[in-house]
Each structure stands twice: as C-alpha cells, then as structure tokens.
Structure 1
Amino acid sequence: MPTLDPNQLETLVVIAEEGTFDAAARRLHITPSAVSQRIRALERAAGQVLVRRTTPCTPTRAGEPLIRHGRQLRLLLAEAAATLNDGDEPGESAGDAVVDLSVVVNADTLATWFRPVLEEVATWERTALRITVEDQGYSADALRRGEVLAAVTSEPKPVQGCTVEPLGRLRYTPGAAPALIERHRKGRGIDWGAIPMIVFNEKDHLQDEVLATHGATRPPVVHRVPSSHDFHEAIRRGLGWGMLLDAQAESDLESGATIRLPGARPIDVQLFWQRWRLDSIALDDLSETVRRAARSQLRRTVQARPPG
C-alpha cells in the first residue's frame, strides 16, 4: 500500500466520530468538498471503499483498521506536541495540543470503582478523557473497530494489536424489595416464572443466568432500566428483582431495604483491561491508574468463568 497521508487518516477518523461529511468539515475547518476529496484519495490509495455513505456514515471493514491507525497517530502526535510545549520558554504560548484518551467501560464500572480514575485524570494537563459506556461482554468490539484506545471488558482473549490483563471481579447478588418477594413466594422459594424482573438493557443477561440455574426462563414482565443508579433504585422500590452490585447495595442488604432472593447465589464477573500495544506515555499512565483503582476496590482475580 502507498504511504498514507496523515491528514486523510485524520479526516477518516473525524467522519467516524461526527457521523457526516458536513460535520467533519465543520470540525476540521475545511469545506465538505475538501473532506470528500481527502476520502476519495485515501480510498484510491487503499484500493477499497472505506466509508459507507449512510446517515450516519460508518466505516467499512477495510476502513476500521485505518481508523485505528489514525487514532494511534493522533495520540502520538498530540503527545509529541505536548512534550514540545512543556519546553516552551517563559512567555511563549503553550499551544493547544490535547491528548485524547478514549476508553469504553460498562455502566456499573463507571458508577463505582472507576471513579478514582476520573479524579486522577482530572489532574493531568491537556488531557481529555472520552468515555463510552457499553456492556462488558461487548466492549472489546469497540477496540476491534478502532473506536477506543482501551476497554474494561469481560473478554480475556486479547484483541489483535492489544494487550490484556486481569483487573478483578465485580460481584452481583440477586435481590429484591421484601414486599415483592413475599408476593411471589412459592413454598420455601420463589415463583421464578412469575416474579417481575429488571434488566439494564437488551445486552444484560446476568439475570438470565440466575433463572437458568433454577430451570426457569424470563417471566412475562421484564422491565428495562438503563442506568446503574436508577436500576438499583427500581429494585429498592419493588419494580422487580435484579442483580445488585455489591458496592451500591451493601447498605441496603444490611438494613433490609433489599434482600437476597431465597436460594439464589451471587455471580462474579471477571473484568480485564485491554489496550492498544502502543508506546504511549499517556496510555501507560492511564493503565497504571486503572490498575490501582481495581486493586483497591475489586475482588481478587480468579480464573475467568467461561463466557455465557
């Protein structure tokens, strides 16, 4: 493949981020025609279509690795510029180079143990943390597509071009409001086929794992509450049963505001940190910050349970 133009790669990345050629043009301060010319030139060099001209625009399979390389190049150039700015003479402008650190995490991680990471990054000069929220079972896909630099994921197999390391375990306990459990008692247990259930979104299958251990499938009433805080609150208010995250629900379980479902066991989800294999000081610093937060707040790592 011929040498790729950095400006063309950056234009491809911005189109993926903004969704349209017009929006990319506004962000890059060039005309939409110039954006189109850059992409056509890049596609000629690659010999393949790289962007689907849909609304929003999306990269093709051939475009995804180029977006990944474009983001890598962006990070390295920004770090280099920031390093040069650090050496400015007194009175000289420090420039506007900003290092973008894009990561994907699951909602429960962001609501709990990841918060010390936010505090640490807040002290870093000219660094922007860009967080995408995705279920831990799907977050590695964002790495494959080149959308992020790193991911908190339940995927133990490294994505091509990435390194992987275990972080620890999140524990979830099946719980509900006492009144809801009383209304759905069946002998000494629970009528699993009737008691209403809450899921975070369509990708949330933790509750289904509990049902499977009791030989049951989803009940007729399944609520969807796509917010970690509000998911917990919905359980407390009796909307349905769901998987309580230890860090959020410990006081409720102690006070009796929510109680464990009879006969149901907790589920541990093993989390991993995957990041690009890239010589980047900023990405190294972020990885170390994530490790410290995980060590202080997650349960000790054990062998990952098979995906299910």
Structure 2
Amino acid sequence: MHHFDPAALDCLAALVDEGSFERAAQRLSITQSAVSQRLRALEQEVGQLLVVRARPLRLTEPGKVLLRFARQWQALRADVARELEEGARPDERLPIAVNADSLATWVLPALDPLVQQGVSLEMVVDDQDFTHDWLRQGAVLGCVSTVRQALRGCRVVPLGVMRYIAVASPGFVARELGGGLTGANFAQVPFLVFNRKDDMQAQWVSHAFGVRSPRLRERFVPSSEAYVRAVLMGWGVGVVPELQVREQLADGSLLPLHPQVQVEVTLHWHQWKLGSEQRPAVRAALLDRIGQALLDGAAAALAPPAAQSLGIGDDVTP
C-alpha cells in the first residue's frame, strides 16, 4: 500500500495548474529545487514517471491517475478544515469544468452564495461535450457536461435542458434574408460558431431543413458574451441558448428564425465520490454543496430534464 506524501501531491497538482516548475514553486512558496525533489520522491514511490519534462509540461498516464487522487485529497482536506472551523488554506482551489454557455447564463448566480461564503473555485471552460474529458483526466473534481454515463468512482445527476434557438439582428435579416432562411440558401448565409468543437449550428440546420452534415459558412467568435454581441451587430445567424437572449427577443433587437425549431441539450453534473462515503460523520462535503448549488440553480433557470431528477447522492448508470 502506497503512503503518498501530501506535500508531493500538492506539487503534482500545482505543476499541472501552473504549467512550470517556477510558477508551481511560487504558488507553493517553496523553491524550484523543492518542487523537483518532491516530484522525484513521488515518482520513486510509484516507480513510474509522472511528468514529462517538456514545454508544455504534460502528465503520463500514471501521472493522471495520481492527479485524480491529488484533487480528491485536496478537496477532502479543505472540507475537513471547514468542519473543524479552521477555514481553507489560502491557496486551496477546487477546480470544476463548465461549458461557456452555462457560465454566461445560470452558473454564476447558482454558485454566488458559496463564493460569498469564502469557497475558492477554479472554473475551466470548454464545450459541453468535452468538459467530461477534464474530469476523466483528473484535472477537475466536477463538471457540467452533456455526457450521461458516470465514470467509475463518480456520481452524476441530470441538471436540466438548455434550449438553443436561431436568431439574427433585424438589419441582418433585411440585408441577407429578405426571403427568409431556407434549405436553399442556408449554405450562403454566414453562421456564427463558438469554436471548432461547436456543432450546434449544424445541428440546428439539420433539424430545420432535414440536411445531414450540412456545410456552413462559418465565422468564429470564441466567447459566449461576444457571440451574442456579434449577432446583434449583424455578423451572421447565431444559434444561442434561449435563456441568454430573452431580453433581446423581447425588445426586438434580435429576431427568432424558425422559432419552432429548437435544439435541446440536456446537461448533467458529474463529481468524484468524496466525503460521505469515506467520512460518514461529515454531513455536507464541499463538493456536494457545489453540486447541490448547481442543481438548485439549474432547476430555476433550465427546463426540467426528461427523466426524474436524482439527488446528489444517487448514481446514474447507462
């Protein structure tokens, strides 16, 4: 049975977070030599290389396993500190991954009460279909994702449905869509796309016009807030969460295109199993509190999931 040095685990997590030995040392308030020594000791303990010393630094597969353990250990330590009313360490950050559209709409209000209470979060932003990869790699302790299946050692709960609609500015509609957006002209009309992982526009076109694998004229705007601004400025057709543009639809600064066509995305919250299973005396682990806050926030903002909602303590199996 390995007995891992918590300080060495902190070094491994800091190296991943900061990307270099110098910045990891600054974060931990130790020397670079101490970071190297602790990492080397950890590698000797497991008998395998954990970090590839390259630019940028990257983890080996054993390193990813140890990183997951390090994240879980840090979360448990922070929770114990709160239970003992000692407070969290100043550098303690709990990493979670969320999709950009959720971050731009309902996630911040949901987490605000916890942050006001002193909870330190580090939010990683990625496409909702890819946030799950961050959890699998051990880089985060929880994620908002479209993936339903739980990883081994994790629990998952459905959050709700985010509905996406197509919109455009009145000026763009008058200039480019005098005859409306149709199956005959969509390929000539510019569509705004978040990034190269984003296929929401193609999904919407497929639903609207029955076209498989449509090829679109794309303009990339990799920010949820800037994306909406670009649509307002008439850069192209946007496919956005209805939740994000309710005010613009109400005041007429954006017009819906084929409003009966919607793409529904069901979001789930995934988290590593911590707290109650390992320490039954702890009533509410920090990660559970974050999960519950997101569940409550999603219930207020999103459409209910098709399946009956599960509690944070329940597991979903495929």
Please tell me whether residue 301 in structure 1 is matched to residue 294 in structure 2: no
Instruction: Give the Cα separation in 1 of the matches to 2:90 and 2:246.
Output: 43
Paired letter, 1:56:
P
Which residue does 1:89 correspond to in 2? none
Which residue does 1:71 correspond to in 2? 71
Paired letter, 2:214:
T
- Could you report, residue by residue, the CA deviation over 1:114-159 in whole angstroms, capped at 9, with x for unpaired residues? 122232113324x212111111110011111111111111110112
Q: Is the Cα contact below 8 Å between 1:184 and 1:194 reproduced in 2?
A: no
Paired letter, 1:201:
N
Q: Is the Cα contact below 8 Å between 2:166 and 2:259 reproduced in 1?
A: no
Which residue does 1:212 correspond to in 2? 206
Which residue does 2:189 correspond to in 1? 195
- Could you report, residue by residue, the CA deviation over 1:163-216 in whole angstroms, capped at 9, with x for unpaired residues? 001000111101112332344448564310100110111111100112334327
Q: How many matched pairs?
A: 295
Instruction: Give the Cα separation in 2 of the matches to 1:129 and 1:188.
Output: 45
Report percent identity of matched pairs: 35
Instruction: Give the Cα separation in 2 of the matches to 1:28 and 1:37.
Output: 14
Q: Is the Cα contact below 8 Å between 2:165 and 2:259 reproduced in 1?
A: no
Which residue does 2:49 correspond to in 1? 49
Q: Is the Cα contact below 8 Å between 1:140 and 1:159 reproduced in 2?
A: no
Deviation at 1:56, TM superposition (A): 2.3
Instruction: Give the Cα separation in 1 of the matches to 2:307 and 2:219.
Output: 32
SS of match in other structure, 1:40: helix
Over aligned residue pairs, what C-alpha RMSD do you find?
Answer: 2.3
Which residue does 1:90 correspond to in 2? none
Deviation at 1:99, TM superposition (A): 5.0
Deviation at 1:275, TM superposition (A): 0.5
Report the more deviating stretch, 249-258 or 112-121.
249-258
| 1:284-295 → structure 2 map (5 Å cutoff) | 284-295=288-299
Which residue does 1:248 correspond to in 2? 244
Report the more deviating stretch, 197-206 or 28-37.
28-37
Q: Which runs of 5+ in 1 are unaligned?
A: 87-93
Instruction: Give the Cα separation in 1 of the matches to 2:173 and 2:162.
Output: 25
Q: Is the Cα contact below 8 Å between 1:144 and 1:160 reproduced in 2?
A: no
Paired letter, 1:219:
L
Please tell me whether residue 150 in structure 1 is matched to residue 142 in structure 2: yes
Please tell me whether residue 121 in structure 1 is matched to residue 114 in structure 2: yes
Paired letter, 1:242:
G
- Cα–Cα, structure 1 residues 189 and 109, in superposed 2: closer, same or farther, change >3 Å? closer
Instruction: Give the Cα separation in 2 of the matches to 1:116 and 1:84.
Output: 28
Instruction: Give the Cα separation in 2 of the matches to 1:187 and 1:131.
Output: 43
Q: Is the Cα contact below 8 Å between 2:98 and 2:123 reproduced in 1?
A: yes
Which residue does 2:154 correspond to in 1? 162
Instruction: Give the Cα separation in 2 of the matches to 1:95 and 1:109.
Output: 27
| 1:215-230 → structure 2 map (5 Å cutoff) | 215=211, 217-220=214-217, 222-230=218-226
- Cα–Cα, structure 1 residues 263 and 228, in superposed 2: closer, same or farther, change >3 Å? closer
SS of match in other structure, 2:130: coil
| TM-score, normalization by structure 1 | 0.88
- Cα–Cα, structure 1 residues 189 and 13, in superposed 2: closer, same or farther, change >3 Å? closer
- Could you report, residue by residue, the CA deviation over 1:237-277 in whole angstroms, capped at 9, with x for unpaired residues? 21000112212212322333222224871111100000111
